[in-house]
């Protein structure tokens, strides 16, 4: 993955709205990471396929462990890097509201936008 197993590596593309969610979380904090741009380079796609055979982005690799799906990646960052800005509130009720908005954005907005980009 990189020179050091502790590095964060994000497989994604900035045109993907799902990758944008993760990029916002990474840059808001800021947490150092390497972006493996999924474009025309088949070697990077092959790396992604080795981690996640369905080849869907984003995938974050944290200390050698792949984490899939944007919302799960954001929750992982909150848990793994608690000293940084939290994307999911600590209060249970507020956290439910954020998760509800996240699901609505994913199912009602981002899925439609992503179809246009694709």
pLDDT, tens digit, for every residue of 24-57?
999 988 789 999 999 989 999 999 999 999 999 9
Which residues does residue 65 pair with via DSSP β-bridges, in sequence order?
62
Q: How far apart are CA 109 and CA 96, in angstroms?
A: 19
Residue 88 or residue 35, greater confidence: 35
Give the pLDDT of residue 116.
67
Residue 43 or residue 106, greater confidence: 43
Q: How far apart are CA 89 and CA 78, in angstroms?
A: 9
Q: How far apart are CA 112 and CA 118, in angstroms?
A: 10
Sign of dihedral through CA atoms 66, 69, 73, 75? negative
Alpha carbons within 13 A on the beta-carbon side of 60: 27
Give the pLDDT of residue 104.
87
Q: How far is CA 1 from the centre of its chain?
A: 16
Give the pLDDT of residue 4.
45
Confidence of residue 5 (pLDDT cuts 50, 70, 90): very low
């Amino acid at each position: 993955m990189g020179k050091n197993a502790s590095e964060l590596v994000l497989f994604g593309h900035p045109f993907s709205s799902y990758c944008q969610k993760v990029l916002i979380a990474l840059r808001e904090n800021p947490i150092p990471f390497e972006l493996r741009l999924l474009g025309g380079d088949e070697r990077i796609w092959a790396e992604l396929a080795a981690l996640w055979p369905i080849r869907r982005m984003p995938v974050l690799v944290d200390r050698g462990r792949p984490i899939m799906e944007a919302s799960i990646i954001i929750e992982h960052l909150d848990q793994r890097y608690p000293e940084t800005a939290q994307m999911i509130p600590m209060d249970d009720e507020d956290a439910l509201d954020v998760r509800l908005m996240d699901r609505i954005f994913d199912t009602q907005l981002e899925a439609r936008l992503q179809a246009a980009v694709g």
